[in-house]
Amino acid sequence: MSVPPIVYSPTDVPLVPAPINPGWIRAGTPQARNTVLSRSEDETTSTILWDCTAGEFVWHYDIDETIYFLEGAAIIGDATTPPRRFVAGDVLFLPKGAVADWKVESYVRKVAFCRRVQPRIVGQALRVAGAAKRLLTGRGAAAPSLSLGG
């Protein structure tokens, strides 16, 4: 079995319009753009470069998304988390099902690491298969895992 190549993704690439759902916009006329930088072979994960101009909107997450802020700032919160200002260098995780309030002050640019959530049974089966493979091949230790509430 061949190993897939390493994929380099520059962040100085052209972005295309990615309009925010008009029903989600609360103030201003935020203009969003994006481009896909990479995608896994099974299409469950992707890396997206995204930017947006000033405005306020709500965002409904149907995937897990980890954000790394590159430039600009956005104030983000939800029904239970007080708004916080995120700037270049900050990281934010938004799980599937989250509904976040965004206020982009003037401009924000981010890299989003997106993952389509699989049913719990699929994840458990993959962990068992991975552990069995490591035992049978004697290759490497198990990758660290995070348990986020169960």
Per-residue pLDDT of the chain (150 residues; tens, 9 = 90+): 576 788 888 999 999 999 999 999 999 999 999 999 999 888 899 999 999 999 999 999 999 999 999 999 999 999 999 999 999 999 999 999 999 999 999 999 999 999 998 667 766 666 777 777 778 887 765 555 555 554
What are the φ and ψ backbone dihedral angles of 141, each rounded to 5 degrees? -90, 160
Q: What does the domain layout of the chain look like in residue ranges? A: 16-115
CA distance 72 to 33: 15
CA distance 94 to 100: 8
pLDDT at residue 150, rounded to an integer: 44
- CATH class entry, domain 16-115: mainly beta
pTM: 0.78
CA distance 19 to 85: 23
